[in-house]
Amino acid sequence: MSEPAIGTGPGRALVAVYGVFALAAGARAAVQIATRFQEAPLAYSLSAFAAAVYVVLTVALARGNRTLALVACGVELAGVLVVGTLSMADPEAFPRATVWSGYGSGYLFIPLVLPVLGLYWLLRRR
Query: Cα Rg for the chain, rounded, in angstroms?
Result: 15
For the segment 91-108, the average pLDDT, to the nearest whole number, is: 90
% of the chain surpassing 90 pLDDT: 79
Model confidence band, residue 4 (pLDDT cutoffs 50, 70, 90)? low
Alpha helix locations (H) across the chain? Answer: 11-36, 41-63, 66-89, 110-124
CA-to-CA distance for 39 and 95, rounded, in angstroms?
A: 8
For the chain, the first-to-last Cα distance in angstroms comes to: 13
User: Which one has a higher pLDDT value, 94 or 14?
Assistant: 14
Which pLDDT score, from 0 to 100, does residue 104 have? Answer: 93
